[in-house]
Structure 1
């Protein structure tokens, strides 16, 4: 039976494995596949298990264990066609995509899916990928300025009957898109931890994704973004990345993590770390998403181990609720064996999270 969540409940999302190699840069067995039928079955399992969103990945070139990559928007549409309530977030990369194409493409998918497509704007961090496909590589903050113009263009095209825009990267002259997407418009997600990324999120995005972190580290980011968003008369919701290892005992879960790290591909992990740390150093403040990431952190390439959802169902549920208290609105999850573990997580962890949320809500009401 499909589980449903109240509007105030924490949301759950999973990384769509639409690229090969799984979610850890390790030679450990991963019973996960990038093939379409596996992903259709996974989406249906996730929908039944209480997940609200799925996030498809954007890659144009091989590397770090991902030798094959399906395109994100068309793959997302395939998943939407085989589900009924799951929302799918398709990643877009400015440069290869133009906002006119994206606005029309997403409006059509939004209509076809009954309003279940969203977009994750990826400003880009891998210079080699841009070079490989012949796209101009911009400086760090320029990439975020371009992404902001892209988002403003999407919103304008979806909202106005004669959209005109004069930006440094995109221009529109009395452009009218019909039919427009269903209301409410597709949600817009983005990631990044630089000053430029956080400020852009405060101005134009609906959701901000952050790499894995502790509740204390997350709270500092949330306070910063929400203060800026409040100044702009907006509210931005927060999603945090995590890699979940849920087992009957904490010892079993920690042993799995240790095996993942022990069997990591050192060359691939270090190459990935070199690229992402260089990308962060290119920001004016000299620090990006992976500035403090250790080798172990980089084995799960969005710092998923740092969120520490590794243990028994109750331990994981309690840590998730602590993240909610720190400001998280959504937990974005990766798994070693996706189909089995998404089902197990939905059966063992999500009900505990809902019980803890209800208990805390009752205590707040009693205290008022």
Structure 2
């Protein structure tokens, strides 16, 4: 039986029968994924996050992926400057939810693997098998400088992440092991409890470079990434599946993200997009982030640069789902046909916009067969112990 088959048999939401899985991205940070000064009722606090999670569970979403952030990016909004730490966030959310799958996003240079493995096993017990791990090497220099060091050189960062993950996996599965590597030395490594879910917590990572994709192919169950077109989504998914199988004899899926502006008419959707992105967008922080990612004017057209910055302002560079319920659903159906397993979504105002999306878009996705009606018994009711 394959690893994916074990996940499915255990009732893990990330491996259910829905062709297009849905989650949300970044409800634990200010502005969530929208780099804008537009008015919103959204707050990155626990009370708001619980309300959002309850709406998601009622509607049948699969997961929540928080953003790990240690400081803001600046700009007028100081985008993501206020942030709930993701391990403690996940533990609290696990205690007040029943169905949704939760992830911890962890910058591996900021957390010793023994501490991370123990914390995740603890949250796994609290959640009854609903916690996963999103590993991030750490790419924001000012954040890494806060931890008495510099941002690691790219390839070295993935060497560190590889050894970090090897230690975590051994802590979850072995008793009394020694480890001596380039970055960690461990004597009599031991942990109880082990994770309750089988075969282990779901692993995701967002590497898109050669080293990042190799890391994902070796360890992750989902390679998280941004799509440039539907054709690119197909190519990326096929590439990752081939890489994981040929190099490591592993299965892997892909997951992306996008932002939603859904209104009764196309005119209303485009007007709201224009308001919060073009009129109220924090272009200063969009420029800061695009410069960090190397999206520079010297090598790209003015049209490309404007669109790239608009997508960052709209929702962290994700795919735009803007239009009527029919148009948004159609774009999501197209995404499902590429082979991508699912998408995280973000809204400027979750409390105001998510109910309309749930009531008007989700039924269309069910009619198209990419999502199934909610089953009352779909939750994981008991942890499944490792053999």
Q: Distance in 2 between matches of 1:70 and 1:106?
A: 17
Contact 2:33 2:316 in 1 (8 A): no
Q: What residue in structure 2 maps to residue 133 of structure 1?
A: 147
Aligned match of 1:250: 266
Matched, 1:46 2:56: yes
CA distance in 2, matches of 1:172, 1:318: 52
Matched, 1:116 2:130: yes
Residues matched between the structures, number: 346
- Tell me if 1:58 matches 2:68: yes
1:259 to 252, 275, 291: 275
Render the CA deviation track for 1:118-169: whole Å, top value 9, x for unaligned.
Answer: 1110111111111133234210111122112222222121111233333322
Q: Does 1:34 align with 2:44?
A: yes
Secondary structure of the 1:241 match is strand
Q: In 1, Cα distance between the equivalents of 2:62 and 2:244?
A: 24
Corresponding residue for 2:240?
Answer: 225
Q: 1:131 and 1:292, CA in 2 relative to 1: closer, same or farther beyond 3 A? A: farther
SS of 1:309 mapped into structure 2: strand
The alignment's TM-score, normalised by the length of structure 1, stands at 0.88
Unaligned runs of 5+ in 1: 280-289, 361-368
Q: RMSD in angstroms over aligned alpha carbons?
A: 2.5
With structure 2 as the length reference, what TM-score do the two structures score? 0.83
Partner in structure 2 of residue 303 of structure 1: 317
| Residue 276 in structure 1 maps to residue 293 in structure 2 | yes
Mapped partners of 1:5, 1:341: distance in 2: 27
Q: Does 1:19 align with 2:34?
A: no
In the other structure, the counterpart of 1:181 is: 195
User: Which whole-Å CA distance do the structure 2 matches of 1:124 and 1:47 have between them?
Assistant: 31
- Which residue of 1 is the match for residue 183 of structure 2? 169
Unaligned runs of 5+ in 2: 1-12, 297-303, 373-387
Structure number with greater CO (CA < 8 Å, separation at least 6) is: 2
Deviation at residue 108 of structure 1 after TM alignment = 0.7
Q: Does 1:355 align with 2:361?
A: no
Instruction: From 337, 348, 359, give the equivalent of 1:325.
Output: 337
Distance 1:4 1:153 in 2: 24
- 2:44 and 2:290 map into 1 onto residues whose CA distance is 23
Give the Cα separation in 1 of the matches to 2:259 and 2:326.
Answer: 16
Deviates more, 1:200-209 or 1:259-268: 259-268
Query: 1:188, 1:206 within 8 Å by CA — same for their partners in 2?
Result: yes
Verify: 1:98 aligned to 2:106, yes or no: no
1:97: how far off? 0.4
Aligned to 1:364: none
Distance 1:163 1:302, change over 3 A: farther
Tell me which residue corresponds to 1:287. Answer: none
CA distance in 1, matches of 2:273, 2:208: 25
